[in-house]
Amino acid sequence: MTTTPQAHDTNSNSSLPEIIGSSPAMREVYRLTRQVAKSKASVLLLGETGTGKELVAKALHRLSLRKNGPYVRVNCGALTESLLESELFGHVAGAFTGAVKNRSGRFEAAHTGTIFLDEINSTTAKLQVKLLRVLQEREFERVGDTQTVQVDCRVIAAANCDLMEEVEAGRFREDLYYRLNVVPIHLPPLRERREDIPELVGHFLNDYNEENDRYVAHISPQAIEALQEYHWPGNVRELQNYVERAVVMAQGDELTVDLLPASIIGGQRKRSSRSRPADLETLTYELVQEGLGAAGPQEDSMHTKIVNRVERELIAQVMAACDNVQVKAAARLGINRNTLHKKLKEYGLGGE
């Protein structure tokens, strides 16, 4: 089975370039994106990792009055505070070790266009102050400089967590949140729009058939059923990776269930009417199954075991996502660095 993406018309809820899906949740995303694209308002994209926030950011730029200006993306979660400050605002020669010449930042590069700040929730309090000033005053100073730089660019930000919860926890400035959250657009996780999976698979099949000179033109009903029952913790990006692997491994012209990962195939056997556990949920599920029937001291012991195992796996995943930088990992986990350091030692995990 192959699927051709629906035509892109000018209706308010018609699909957007490179974005696949015709479910009610996605049509609402299309409607909001088209409605606010030509405005000057800041937009906050909210959704789990892999839901397509960058594609919506690009669509907002292409549909805006700034479409002929630059589009600049910055992953705020990929850099330390000092590097991110320099990346965003630039620096002058001598501002810090290694700053041998003046360098403009990404805000200057985005002048007359759009800047997309991905993982905005990863920024520190110091950077949040500077970002608030840019949004309010449209000006800033390069690192190590006193000269004010004026800039005109639209800010689109994205977060993969509940920013209001971050505000309430004291990790994100409330005034910056409201400046960014003029128009929020929520990107639904794939498990909440399972009806889009056949269309997405067809689209990715077309892409990877062409890329790999293959002809996997059909999808078995069993494969579609397995894909629609899976929990999709990695969302569309995870689905894309699985389709690419299936195309490469297929011996014939059909994507069959045996070409899918064991985590998906096994899910069909484990789940009933509920979505199967996945990743950390899988670990918890398995440990709970081990502990069923436990009583008394054994019950307490099993509870401790579950908590420790899940906590260890969570810390390991966050450390990996933060390139083993403890400061970033601690911020993402919502604990201080000393606590994280103790837990890393306790669980035998590495760090910076």
Instruction: Give the type of residue at 137.
Output: E
At 5 the pLDDT is 42
At 256 the pLDDT is 94
Q: Where are the domains of the chain?
A: 37-188, 192-270, 280-347
Q: What is the pLDDT of residues 251-288, one digit of tens each?
A: 999 999 999 998 888 654 444 334 444 455 555 555 55
Contact 200, 157 (CB under 8 A): no
Tell me the average pLDDT across 94-120. 85
pTM of the model: 0.70
Q: Do domains 192-270 and 280-347 have the same CATH topology?
A: no
First to last CA, the chain: 48
DSSP secondary-structure letter at 113?
A: S
Superfamily of domain 280-347 in CATH is Homeodomain-like (1.10.10.60)
Compute the distance between CA of residue 330 and CA of residue 338 in angstroms, rounded to an integer. 9
Q: Locate the DSSP E strands across 71-223.
A: 71-75, 114-118, 139-141, 148-150, 154-159, 183-186, 218-219
Annotation: CATH topology of 37-188: Rossmann fold (3.40.50)
Contact 239, 35 (CB under 8 A): no
At 297 the pLDDT is 53
192-270 belongs to CATH 1.10.8.60: yes
Per-residue confidence at 324, pLDDT binned at 50, 70, 90? Answer: confident
Per-residue confidence at 348, pLDDT binned at 50, 70, 90? Answer: confident
